[in-house]
Amino acid sequence: MLTQLPGFTDPVHDSQQTFRALLDALAQPGLCQTTVAVAPPAGLTPSCAAAALTLLDLETTVWLQPGLPQAVSDWLLFHTGCQFTEAPQAADFALIGQMATAPPLTAFGWGSPEYPEASTSLLVQLPTLQGGRSTTLQGPGILAERAIALPVPDDFWAQWQAMTSRYPLGVDSWWLSGDQVLGLPRTTRLQTLEVEEEMSA
């Protein structure tokens, strides 16, 4: 069905500003950036809608988490013309609405050693970017270390840890809530688990 909602009010400048925010989010992992707010269809946060309009086009393949309303795919199809896939492994972008029921990180494309960039980028929507268990990040873009508290399922950080050990393979992710975006690229490593192991030893 044809969507009833418009996209960016000023397509050129809105998408440039959002692209800049997404770029900064990956350049400074763990710091919140502000995107342009778009009136989103039901099921998308404003920042996720803006990111989707900015990143998707006719040549990108998108995996939508089952359970996202039909309005989301109608809206994306009308405004970006992107292709949809059922296989998360084959997608350029994966749109996740509910982190609790999302497939594990290994279900997405991690790229190949020759083409690590041919991986899936995750757009994960969260109700809030605060309030989870505190996690300390390290890696490029972080001077010493940076603490974040994303509300994610308990086993997520173990999966992330396992993924970063396979660098340069892996996925990059954006975490979206309201008009905020937080980036977590595959270069960002964790400290929490190691510290806990030391404490228990």
- Catalog residues that contact another protein under the rule CB under 8 A: 2-7, 11, 78-79
Nearer to another protein, 2 or 100 (CB): 2
Cα(116)–Cα(171) distance, integer angstroms: 9
Smallest distance, another protein to C-beta of residue 61, A: 21
CB of 8 to another protein, least distance (A): 9
CA 123 to chain centre: 3
Q: Shortest gap between Cβ of 5 and another protein (angstroms)?
A: 8
Of how many residues is the chain composed?
201
The nearer residue to another protein, 5 or 107, going by C-beta atoms, is: 5
8 A C-beta contact, residue 74 and residue 41: yes
- Pairing status of strand 180-184 against strand 172-177: antiparallel
CB 2 → another protein: shortest distance, Å? Answer: 5
Whose Cβ is closer to another protein: residue 10's or residue 145's? 10
Judging by beta carbons within 10 Å of its beta carbon (0-12, 13-18, 19+), is residue 171 exposed, middle or buried? buried
Nearer Cβ to another protein (2/144): 2
* Minimum CB–partner distance for residue 13 and another protein (Å): 13
Residue 18 or 121 with smaller CB distance to another protein? 18
Beta bridge partners of 66: 68
Q: Reduce the DSSP state of residue 187 to 3 states and report it.
A: coil
Angle between helix 46-55 and 70-80 (nearest 10): 40
Asked if 132 contacts 100 with a C-beta cutoff of 8 angstroms, the reply is no
